[in-house]
């Protein structure tokens, strides 16, 4: 409610008619203990207001002395008032006051210390103090939010800067290692050096891949996701990615199934992003599927006109309590003591961010010890069908 008006504050209190008797008003005030004021309305127009406090004071002054003047106050007192300990917090007092079955919050509460009377608290004071507490907490939460945003921005800038600084020398290392690995300037002596150079090149490429993931994540967190859209064929990109990963699939000794109908529509999307999404999903499936397992890449049109492609595996799966975590940056199912597979923990978060940049969604389902299915859905507006191409 951004701009509340008097209409938003109006409570539907049943009004009084000008001709009603004071005895009837008195009875109503007794029946409705929380009612502070009652409007007096004639023919739909307000003509006055009855205040509980003023009415009862006058009423008692006029008639009360004759009836109760000689009786003890116990005849009229509330025998079950709200009594609180001196050290009870305002939040607890508020809860107790408004949950007391036989007491009205308007009556306030009695404060005792070590079982002895200390003072009287009013609902109005409690509400004011509680409001101050809520405001102070809100201000503190806002300060913490600003600090967290500033820290996150600093982290993003640091990652982006460091990634650039590291990539320059690392590219040189990879380039020179590749030059030596290919022995373009002559054979390496002794031959054992060739094994070392192979390891240097492999480690450098792996490190560069991790740095690129960090840089991409920093860009996404900073809101810099640039899409270079083109008309692409998912079948062609899928075939290309499978060729890229053929050696990894053979090394992992897993079975690959591909289910892609020939009539899939073309897609308006960033080709590099879609390729990266498929590489990440298939690489994860290969990494976490034991030898002898199976991986399936399938795609289909959705009833809403969109397109879905999924990567299913029979791998180690993800525990149910970790499903949300693996979609967060730097989160991994294995901890630092049990990790058996390398990685930054950015594959799925990056994939999810790239899918969402296209207006799509990523859905993750898994059963621990049985396998994982990751499905990417792209909206209908990104589909390009033959009739739309002909019309253009």
E strands in 53-115: 83-85, 109-113
- Rounded-to-integer distance, Cα 28 and Cα 341, Å: 75
Give the start-to-end residue ranges of the domains of the chain.
Answer: 1-77, 129-221, 229-334+343-391
Locate 48 and state its tokens. 């006055």
Candidates 260, 257, 246; CA nearest to 295 is: 257
At residue 99, the pLDDT reads 77
Q: What are the average pLDDT values for consecutive 10-residue runs of the chain, which has 392 residues?
A: 62 86 85 83 84 78 64 66 85 79 64 85 79 87 88 73 76 87 83 86 82 72 74 92 90 92 90 90 92 94 92 90 74 44 65 89 91 94 71 49
- CATH 2.60.120.10 assigned to domain 129-221? The reply is no
Residue whose entry in the numeric block shows the structure tokens 């290309």: 240
Q: Any idea which fold 1-77 has?
A: CBS-domain (3.10.580)
pLDDT tens, 60-81? 777 666 665 566 666 656 677 7
pLDDT on residue 176: 87
Note the CATH architecture for domain 229-334+343-391: 2-Layer Sandwich (3.30)
| Residue 40 pLDDT | 87
User: In the 8-state DSSP scheme, what is residue 118?
Assistant: E
Reference 376, options 274, 305, 272, 264; nearest CA is 274
pLDDT by residue (tens digit) across 332-356? 554 433 334 544 557 788 888 889 8
Question: What pLDDT was estimated at residue 388?
Answer: 53
Report pTM: 0.53
pLDDT at 335: 43
- Residue 69's pLDDT is what? 59
Q: How far is residue 192's CA from residue 292's CA, in Å, rounded to a whole number?
A: 34
The closest alpha carbon to 280, from 297, 294, 305, belongs to 297
Complete DSSP assignment for 223-278: T-----EEEE-HHHHHHHHHHHTHHHHHHHT-EEEEE--TTPPEEEEEHHHHHHHH
pLDDT at res. 1: 46
């Amino acid at each position: 409610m951004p701009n509340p008006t008097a209409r938003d504050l109006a409570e539907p209190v049943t009004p009084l008619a000008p001709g009603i008797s004071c005895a009837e008003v008195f009875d109503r005030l007794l029946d409705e203990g929380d009612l502070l004021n009652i409007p007096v309305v004639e023919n739909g127009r307000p003509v006055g207001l009855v205040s509980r406090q003023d009415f009862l004071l006058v009423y008692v002054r006029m008639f009360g002395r004759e009836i109760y003047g000689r009786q003890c106050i116990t005849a009229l007192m509330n025998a079950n008032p709200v009594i609180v300990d001196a050290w009870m917090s305002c939040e607890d007092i508020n809860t107790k006051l408004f949950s007391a079955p036989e007491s009205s919050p308007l009556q306030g509460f009695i404060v005792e210390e070590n079982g002895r009377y200390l003072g009287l608290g009013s609902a109005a004071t409690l509400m004011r103090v509680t409001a101050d507490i809520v405001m102070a907490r809100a201000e503190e939460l806002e300060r913490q939010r600003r600090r967290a945003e500033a820290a996150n921005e600093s982290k993003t800038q640091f990652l982006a800067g460091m990634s650039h600084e590291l990539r320059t020398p690392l590219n040189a290392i990879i380039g020179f290692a590749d030059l030596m690995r290919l022995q373009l300037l002559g054979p390496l002596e002794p031959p054992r050096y060739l094994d070392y150079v192979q390891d240097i090149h492999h480690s450098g490429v792996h490190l560069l891949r991790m740095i690129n993931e960090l840089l991409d994540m920093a860009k996404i967190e900073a809101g810099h996701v640039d899409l270079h859209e083109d008309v692409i064929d998912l079948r062609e990109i899928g075939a290309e990615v499978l060729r890229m990963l053929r050696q990894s699939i053979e090394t992992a000794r897993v079975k690959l199934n591909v289910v892609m109908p020939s009539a899939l529509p073309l897609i308006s999307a960033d080709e590099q992003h879609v390729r990266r999404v498929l590489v990440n999903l298939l690489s994860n499936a290969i990494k976490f599927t034991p030898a002898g397992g199976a991986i399936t890449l399938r795609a289909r049109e959705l009833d809403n006109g969109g397109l879905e492609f999924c990567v299913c595996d029979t791998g180690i799966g993800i525990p149910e309590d970790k499903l949300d975590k693996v979609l967060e940056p730097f989160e991994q199912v294995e901890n630092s003591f049990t990790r058996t597979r390398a990685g930054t923990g950015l594959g799925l978060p990056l994939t999810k961010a790239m899918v969402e940049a296209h207006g799509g969604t990523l859905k993750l389902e898994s059963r621990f010890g049985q396998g994982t299915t990751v499905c990417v859905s792209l909206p209908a507006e990104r589909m390009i069908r033959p009739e739309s191409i002909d019309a253009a």
